[in-house]
């Protein structure tokens, strides 16, 4: 899909290509929804996550400033 606005006929063509059949009455709604999703994703792609560690290194039990509680006496 290009950065241009997705038209209802293009939405129907993409749906058919994916094996989905759409009633003609739904073409405009699907096109608008796909365009909205595309605009949100394009904003997310512009974010800089260069200094953000990957999720695999996150440990909820070892957060700075959070006291760890255990039941040992």
DSSP code string of 9-54: HHHHHHHHHTT----GGGHHHHHHHHHHHHHHHHHHHTS--TTPPP
Q: Is the pLDDT of residue 58 over 60?
A: yes
User: What does the pLDDT read at residue 66?
Assistant: 67
pLDDT digit string, tens, across residues 8-31: 999 999 999 999 999 999 999 999
Six-digit token pair at 1?
């899909």
């Amino acid at each position: 899909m290009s950065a241009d606005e997705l038209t209802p006929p293009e939405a129907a063509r993409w749906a058919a290509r994916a094996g989905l059949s759409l009633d003609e009455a739904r073409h405009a709604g699907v096109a608008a929804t796909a365009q909205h999703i595309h605009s949100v994703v394009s904003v997310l792609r512009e974010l800089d996550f260069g200094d953000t560690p990957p999720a695999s290194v996150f440990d909820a039990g070892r957060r700075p400033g959070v006291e760890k509680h255990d039941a040992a006496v």
